Amino acid sequence: MSIQYYHHGRFRVAGGVIPEAVTAYCTYGDPKNPCIVFPTCYGGKLDRMFELGNGLLGQEYLVGEGKVLDPRKYYVVTFALFSNGESSSPSNTPPPYNGPYFPAVSYGDNIRAQYTVLTQKLGIQKVFCVVGFSMGAQQAYYWPVVYPEFVESICGSARTSPHNKAFLEGPKAALTASKDFDNGHYKTTPQHGIRAFGRAYSAWAYSQDWFRKKLYMFDGTYSDLHAFLREEWEAGFLNGWDANDLLTLLHTWQIADVSDNPR
């Protein structure tokens, strides 16, 4: 797996403009096969999956021989969302649009950027399927709405629910209210804020069967819930995630509504 970068130049987004926008992506398989688009989720990167102690790498938990997205059958293109730290983000954009000055980005902005990569760089004329998890799944609905003749099938959710929006306010407040966040102008990693963010976000996972099985039924790696939260959720966000990236990406998630577009 090798990450590639498409340079868009000046790119307009919901909150303004990114002067030198970049979209990170990877490709798997033969371009002659049906194309499947597989964008990242919240906490997802191309170079590694959001690490909850599982060692999964990038998007490859679904991509590979014998897996759902088999490169022998499909041409799989994985995309990094704006603000995930690999595509243009608050953490890697130079002044004057760095950090808290990075503009708000919508799903529609991401889809337009990905479409450009597919058509202008990779020569794709038709996408067989768009699939993803969490924020990746929400992007799927935008594809056939924005480019109805370009996509054959989708899998995802069309709009962020009020319940989901309310949940996201918890991790966001835990980060932005921390003593070391400094309104986004931090000079070093805001450890207190990101640790609090990780713990607040973990409440969602605790409702999932896989989370409880990992904590209580595995080989006793973790002595208690506190150790699990510290080593998996705090460490997961501290290792490789910038605080402003987390917030900008979260905003993209919160405002998702596929009916709110020019078409």
Q: Evaluate if residue 55 carries a pLDDT over 60.
A: no
| In a shared domain, residues 244 and 132 | no
Q: Is 134 left (phi over 0), alpha (psi -120 to 50) or beta?
A: left
Q: What b/e string do you get for 121-158 counting C-beta neighbours within 10 Å, with b at 16 or more?
A: eeebeebebbbbbbbbbbbbbbbbbbbeebbeebebee
* Domain closes at, from 102, 126, 155: 155
**What share of the chain in percent tops pLDDT 90?**
54
| In a shared domain, residues 28 and 95 | yes
The overall average pLDDT reported for the chain is: 86
* Domain closes at, from 155, 174, 205: 155
| 180 in any annotated domain | yes
First-to-final CA distance of the chain: 36
Look at 157 and 86; give whichever has higher pLDDT.
86
Query: Which domain CATH number covers 221?
Result: 1.10.1740
Query: Which domain CATH number covers 55?
Result: 3.40.50.1820
- Degrees (nearest 5) of the Cα angle 245, 107, 63? 80
Structural domain range at position 219: 163-254
| In a shared domain, residues 112 and 207 | no
Residue 11 backbone dihedrals phi, psi, to 5 degrees: -130, 120
- pLDDT tens string 177-219: 999 999 999 999 999 999 999 988 887 766 656 555 555 544 5
| In a shared domain, residues 193 and 75 | no
| In a shared domain, residues 27 and 148 | yes
| Per-residue model confidence (pLDDT) at position 164 | 79
- pLDDT tens string 146-184: 888 888 755 566 677 787 788 889 999 999 999 999 999
What is the domain count for the chain? Answer: 2
| Per-residue model confidence (pLDDT) at position 237 | 87
Say what angle helices 162-176 and 191-206 make with each other, to 10 degrees. 150
| In a shared domain, residues 140 and 167 | no
| In a shared domain, residues 132 and 178 | no
